[in-house]
Amino acid sequence: MDKVKKKEYIEQMSSQFDKSEAVIVTHYQGLTMHQLDDLRSRMREHGIQFKITKNRITKLALQKTRCKDLSELFSGPTAVALSKDAITSAKILTKFSKENSSLKILGGIMGTDILDVAGVQNVATLPTLDEARAKIVGILSSPAQKIASILLAPASKIAILALEKSKK
């Protein structure tokens, strides 16, 4: 890579690190190209970018961003997941690393919080935004259903009582 391309790469990576809400760093040594393509397609479905990085140049790009504390993770065959949704990317990577032991999660950053491997796995157990919304709607709708059944119960009891009286 010549100096111009390196400079462009550094600028591009710096902007991607700053724009991403979540950055998760992994080692991919031992994965086949088919497995990497499969992981990339899973990530792409959710708008997540999975990039194999050049460590030395990526460390330079990290120096100017909020993710500079991650630079120590960049050694060996490193790949990065960049996304706006930390929970989804953590879920996909955690699930894939369980299926393929060659993918190792090293850590990451979510917002301003630095995550270790356990932190990424904890984030993976959180509900996604859609799941959380569904739970809230369920919680909010259940009291309304209970109130409606309480209000309707006396009317139905009166109707049953009137029916029984009319039979006699």
CATH number of 3-126: 3.30.70.1730
Neighbours of 95 (CB within 10 A): 12
Per-residue pLDDT tens digits for 51-83: 998 888 888 888 878 888 888 888 889 999 999
pLDDT in tens, 91-149: 999 999 999 888 999 998 888 888 888 888 888 887 777 787 888 787 777 776 666 66
DSSP string, 92-113: HHHHHHHH-TT-EEEEEEETTE
**Whole-prediction pTM:** 0.73
